[in-house]
Chain A
Amino acid sequence: MGKIAGSSSLEAVDLHCVRGERKLFGALSFTLRSGELLRIGGANGSGKTSLLRIACGLLEPTRGEVRWDGKDIRRLQEEFWRQLVYIGHANAIKDDLTATENLHVACTLAGVPRQPAQIREALRRLGLAGCEDLPARMLSQGQRRRTTLARLALSEPMPLWILDEPFAALDSEAVEHVQNLIAEHLSRGAAVILTTHLEARIAATLRIDLERT
């Protein structure tokens, strides 16, 4: 498995986030370099998801900016998103499409079209052999999450993964698989941000704990 060429960094500068009347966090800064894992902790409602959505450019921070290789991601737009995998709370899976079709669409949209054989291999890796051609509607909650996360096995070239509660709804075997994928990706020289309540096996280089204010 190849290394990711070049080294990139994600830099958050003095981020403030106010949702409605409530201040979620303020004056938050961090720098994440290649090969590093940032783990964001905090209670429910402390702004973890908001922070991730700001980091990937879905949400505009109230103040501050996020930079990728020194450039504001709001300016880079597609240039940044092409290098990013974001797995949110929602599984981004269409009930009427099969697991294979769902992954095919997701990879094509992300700019890394994949062959059906590669997609099947990724699904197998996540323990979904035999479910490839079932409509997602027939899958259990955990199997849907696995389908979504199978994207990670197809996203080696992306130097930044942002994962929101990737282990939610997964059994211990799948958690193990996903942790392996993350560890492999870090060793390839990529950066990963994740939120989780589980005590993960992989050591986080950076930790941010958001407090409820």
Chain B
Amino acid sequence: MLAALRCVIRRDLLLAARRSSDVLTVLLFFVIVVSLFPLGVGPDAGLLRTIAPGVIWVAALLASMLALQRMFASDHTDGTLEQMLLGATPLGMTVAAKVFAHWVISGLPLVLISPVLALQFDFPQEFLGVLALSLALGTPVLSLIGAIGAALTLGLRGGGALLSLLVLPLYVPVLIIGAGAAEAAVSGLGGHAQLLLLGALLVFAVAFAPWAAAVALRISTE
């Protein structure tokens, strides 16, 4: 079974590597959206510092939304999804492997580039770590919750818009806690409580979301 999971992860990463434009689109979207704010708000360092975590988090949320539709869509069109549904590995595990690969492709780059973007906001350097860590814990939760939405809207016409409506409200707790972590750290309260909560959300999502997405996939491929 582990061989099958490794194989799914390897396959998805290989596909992403051969189609790197998809990965770059998401990353560039994130970079551009975040960079628009200092341009729009103006050079008020105090204000920028205050809004930095919120802006970066909202942009990360939208960027991961953008990548969601692709999670199962191409596998659905070419029939490989059917083979996964009929695989020897429990579907929940296969979905977990796919979500992990999806996060490596669309979430991890955001985490890695976020400290650089935060500099545009004059964000205090000693707290860049907290910001990146909050994203590192939060973006996998976004991918996991998003997987359920992507599975439910699979094959629907106009599924993209519906997916946003379905998933964005569910992202709200992650957004509040995630952006709160860096804010709390900056204000001297320490972001530990928020980071722990994010960790708890992640554990919860890892345990349940793949199975929920698996059930949704079975329903939407019928």
Contact = CB atoms under 8 A, between A and B. Distances in A.
Interface of A: 56-60, 77-78, 81-82, 84, 86, 88-97, 101, 104-106, 108-113, 135
Nearest to B94: A109
Contacts of A57: 86
Please classify how large the interface on chain B is, using the bins under 10, 10 to 19, 20 to 34, 35 or more: 20 to 34
A110 B85 CA distance: 10
Nearest to B80: A92
19 contacts: A57-B86, A58-B222, A78-B89, A84-B86, A86-B86, A89-B79, A90-B82, A92-B82, A93-B78, A95-B78, A96-B14, A96-B18, A97-B15, A106-B83, A109-B89, A109-B94, A110-B88, A112-B88, A135-B18
A110 B3 CA distance: 11
Interface of B: 3-4, 7-8, 11, 14-15, 18-19, 77-80, 82-90, 94, 221-222
B89 A101 contact: no
Contacts of B80: 92-94, 105
A101 B10 CA distance: 11
Contact of B222 (A60, A91, A101): A60
B18 A109 contact: no
Give 10 nearest A-B pairs by CB, closest first: A90-B79, A111-B88, A92-B79, A108-B7, A109-B87, A82-B88, A96-B18, A81-B86, A92-B80, A92-B83
B78 A90 contact: yes
Contact of B88 (A60, A78, A93): A78
A112 B222 CA distance: 26
B88 A109 contact: yes
B4 A108 contact: yes
Given A58-B222, A78-B89, A84-B86, A96 B15 contact: yes
Contacts of A135: 18
A93 to B, nearest CB: 6
B184 to A, nearest CB: 44
A77 B78 CA distance: 23
Nearest to B84: A109
A47 to B, nearest CB: 14
Contacts of B87: 78, 81, 109-111
Nearest to B17: A96
Given A58-B86, A110-B83, A96 B78 contact: no
A105 B15 contact: no
Contacts of B11: 94, 97, 101, 105
Contacts of B88: 78, 81-82, 109-112
Contacts of A86: 82-83, 86
Given A58-B85, A81-B86, A84-B86, A111 B78 contact: no
A56 to B, nearest CB: 6
Contacts of B84: 109
Nearest to B10: A105
Nearest to A112: B88
B211 to A, nearest CB: 13
Contacts of B221: 58
Which residue, of B3, B87, B90, B94, has the highest number of chain A Cβ atoms within 10 A? B87
A81 B90 CA distance: 10
A105 B7 contact: yes
A51 to B, nearest CB: 14
A88 B15 contact: no
A100 to B, nearest CB: 12
A91 B71 CA distance: 19
Contacts of B85: 58
